[in-house]
Amino acid sequence: MTLRVLIVDDEALARTRLRTLLQDCVAPETLVAGEAANAVQAMEALRRGGIDLVLMDIRMPGVDGMSLARTLRSMAPTPAVVFVTAHAEYAVQAFELEAVDYLTKPVRLARLQAALEKAQRSLEANGQAQSHASPDMLTIQDRGRTQRVPLIDVLYFKAELKYVTVRTADKSYILDGSLGELEARYAADFMRIHRNALVSRRAIRALEKHFDPEEGEGWAVRLQGVGEPLAVSRRQLAAVREAMLA
């Protein structure tokens, strides 16, 4: 399974270090599904769903990590929590809140790896691990009909005015939602290539030079099953290149 991780820390450098360490961890595979600088941002990310594990600081402005952890216990499904803090004195309270592990800064790779393994075992024991045995389905209202479209069939999502176009190899649908919500929920399978587009990671076949009448010279991706190229923004270009090499 892939552990979808939310990093919660008010210090940007601490979040960056954790993200870097996660990239160096071996099994279980991890995906940073979001970052938050405070409890409010963390709850916004968690309400969107798709989070298995929260790596969380304790001392933060506003609501602290302990209070946030108490709130998370009422969520269903409940994400696993690992505290990552510079303060060792809260360990007893942390385990009373059923935290999976308690790491003190600076975090060593081996300790983080062990915490991830504990989190995986805890989620599997509670039956909350994200399973890919049953495919995710999108529920779409199409001309008065309700249709279920397997996520694996979707090649890209593209924002069009107030709606999102959902494209498969055979058909396009209109979905009432936002790219931000879709990105947070399906980050393991889709990546943002532009402010208005998410594409299926497995469908990317080529990255090529492209001329856009509005944006000029740039880059675009070719997807399997889609005739037209999709523009890649300069901001997302490095991430797309990295994804193609992975």
Q: Per-residue pLDDT averaged across 13-17, rounded?
A: 96
What whole-number percentage of the chain has pLDDT above 90?
A: 56
State the pLDDT at residue 130: 44
- Both 146 and 205 in a single domain? yes
What whole-number percentage of the chain has pLDDT above 70?
A: 94
Higher-confidence residue: 140 or 94? 94
Q: Which domain holds residue 35?
A: 2-125
Q: What is the CATH number of the domain that holds 159?
A: 2.40.50.1020
Give per-residue pLDDT as tens, 61-112: 999 999 999 988 877 788 999 999 999 999 999 999 899 999 999 999 999 9
Q: Is the pTM value of this prediction over 0.75? A: no
Distance between alpha carbon 69 and the CA centroid of its chain, in Å? 20
Q: For residue 134, what pLDDT band results from cuts at 50, 70 and 90?
A: very low
Number of C-beta neighbours around residue 8 at 10 A: 29
- Which residue, 57, 91, 125, sits at the end of a domain? 125
State the pLDDT at residue 57: 97
- Which residue, 125, 145, 173, sits at the end of a domain? 125
Which of 23-37, 47-61, 80-94, 133-147 shows the lowest per-residue confidence on average (mean pLDDT)?
133-147
